[in-house]
Amino acid sequence: MRILVLQFIPETRQRSVPRFEPQLGTLLALLERRGHELALLGLARYAEGEIKAALARTLPQLIYADIAPVCVDAARRTFEYLTRHEPLPIVAGGLYPTVDPAGCLSLPGVYAVALGEPDASLSTYLERMKDPTAGQIVSGVWLRDERGLAQPGMPPLVEDLNSLPFAHRELFRYAEYVQRTGQIEIAVARGCPQRCAYCCNDRVRALYAGGQTWVRYRAPGNILAEIALLRERYPGVRLVRFLDHAFALDLVWLADFLPAYAQKCGLPFRCHVRANAADQRTIQRLAEAGCRAADIEVGSAGNLIRNEVFDMDLSAAQLRATFALLKHAGIRSRAIVYVGAPYESEASLEETRSLLARIQPDDADVRLYYPWPGTRARDLAQEHGWLHSRGEEQYHQDRSGLDVPACRAVHVARFIRRLRGELRAEVGKAWWWWRWPAVTRAALGQVFARRRV
């Protein structure tokens, strides 16, 4: 079957669309293996011209839409166009259909949605579509037809990740990405043992029957074989970026993986480190195996937001200790901070600024908090009536998705602009820089910035 895959995913400051996503990449590899002809179009917004051109180029028989929960409007408008001009069957998958399958099935033209990990369910479903005599009910795929809504249960999780093919990358124009960045991205696991309330992990986990292993890691040999293949295919790789938040959470797996990686690959790598599960030994091992940069989710500086709203189970002492250990081990640290969460206040914003000053990351990514559908933090905001009326449009314009009376969206936006400006000038500077008054630092930062230009 000729399938046009539409990836609805937001653009980020560093990346355009389509953007490599391991789970979608694996699905595409499976579909290609089954003989389907695939084309991929990335859409962060509704773009009629691009859709028309892709339809003319690829003459699809089916549309598969992978939809991020912040791109539902773009998907809706695209499907409206398709139902009017090119009525093709639309099957959806990805995070949005997983957290809101009924909502996704109500989008124009959507006939079926795959929930959770779609590898087995979707490939089986597409096979059955070709055969009118085969029953169309497949575990993990909800259907809408004239008889109503079919909601079969979930299939078992893929236990052995090594049995899956390596993710497809060419359709994501991966050669260009490697050429531009010098890095390759690798997913080593599926599932996560933590339960942060700003993430969909626990909602997806709840779909599956108990008694199954939720957090699954690939074997070191399987990962290293993929890295070797990618290095051969894409010359100029200088860095491996491990995408999983759970990368350093299973110490037994890590103890197997790191020495094998250092021996068989040896490239510098970057990974996530969770500050509530990082000790000196782990960080030392990471450094010895070639870890040169680590991403640490700080969440928010305010304890109420970090631990009650985001449920990160993370103390300020753990954060301070982790950043100090990384510095000591010679690993560059990047703090990821969310601003504008439920219960944000002027006081918690200032706490964020001073926490960054204390932990002294080498880099900081200050993000505007957006209440992703399917998360407990969003449910909380919804209960209080704090969701912004403009919905996901706010996300695409880098504006707050909440309107909290104690800390208005406009105030959060002003704070974030100022903090990003200060950080651009200040991150990586000596500790004493932070002791100067903010106004002095901002003025000096501008002078330095002008000189750099």
Binding site for ligand SF4 (CB under 6 A): 192, 194-196, 199, 201, 245, 274
Nearer to ligand SF4, 24 or 107 (CB): 24
Q: Closer CB to ligand SF4, residue 168 or residue 245? A: 245
Q: How far is the CB of 332 from ligand SF4 (least distance, A)?
A: 20
- Smaller CB separation from ligand SF4, 310 or 323: 310
Taking the complex as a whole, the smallest distance from the CB of residue 245 to ligand SF4 amounts, in Å, to 3
Q: Which is nearer to ligand SF4, 192 or 381 (CB)?
A: 192
Q: Report the alpha-carbon distance of residue 297 to residue 25 in Å, rounded.
A: 25
Q: How far is the CB of 297 from ligand SF4 (least distance, A)?
A: 6
Nearer to ligand SF4 by Cβ, of 192 and 416: the residue is 192
CB nearer ligand SF4, residue 41 or residue 196: 196
d(CA 315, CA 312): 9
Contacts of residue 416, defined as CB under 8 A and 6 or more positions apart, other chains included, come to 339, 340, 366, 368
Beta carbon of residue 19, minimum distance to ligand SF4 (angstroms, whole number): 18
Structure tokens at 5: 């895959």
Least separation in angstroms between CB 299 and ligand SF4: 9
Distances in whole angstroms, Cα of residue 423 to Cα of each of 8, 153, 262, 345, 364: 31, 48, 34, 21, 7
Shortest distance (Å) from residue 370 CB to ligand SF4: 14
Cβ 247 to ligand SF4 shortest distance, Å: 10
Cα Rg, the chain, nearest whole Å? 23
Q: Is 130 exposed, middle or buried (0-12, 13-18, 19+ CB in 10 A)?
A: exposed
d(CA 275, CA 325): 10
Annotate 157-205 with DSSP letters as a single string. Answer: P-S-GGGSPPPP-GGGTHHHHHHHHSEEEE--EE--S---TTSSHHHHH
82 vs 246, beta carbon nearer ligand SF4? 246
Q: How far is the CB of 306 from ligand SF4 (least distance, A)?
A: 12
Cα(453)–Cα(450) distance, rounded to whole angstroms?
5
- Give the DSSP per-residue string, 44-58: SS--HHHHHHHHHHH
Q: Kindly give the pairing relationship between strand 110-114 and strand 363-368.
A: unpaired
Nearest distance from C-beta of residue 99 to ligand SF4, angstroms: 13
Q: How far is the CB of 147 from ligand SF4 (least distance, A)?
A: 37
Tokens (6 digits) for 180: 């531009």
User: Whole-angstrom Cα distance, residue 374 to residue 438?
Assistant: 38
Which two three-digit tokens encode residue 289? Answer: 């195996």
In degrees, rounded to 5, the angle at the alpha carbon of residue 364 between the alpha carbons of residues 359 and 366 is 115
Residue placing its CB nearer to ligand SF4 in the complex, 41 or 199: 199
How far apart CA 116 and CA 93 sit, in angstroms, is: 8
**Nearer residue to ligand SF4 within complex by CB, 38 or 189:** 189
How near is the Cβ of 41 to ligand SF4 at its closest, in Å?
27
Beta-carbon neighbour count of residue 154 at 10 Å? 16
Taking the C-alpha atoms of residue 108 and residue 112, their distance in angstroms, rounded to an integer, is 11
Contact 14, 26 (CB under 8 A): no
Q: Which is nearer to ligand SF4, 248 or 326 (CB)?
A: 248
Closest contact distance (angstroms) between CB of 23 and ligand SF4 is: 13
Residue type, 324: A
40 DSSP β-pair partners: 5
Tokens of 224: 């290293």
User: Of 92 and 199, which has the nearer Cβ to ligand SF4?
Assistant: 199
Comparison of 198 and 415: residue with beta carbon closer to ligand SF4: 198
User: In a 3-state reduction of DSSP, which class is residue 388?
Assistant: coil
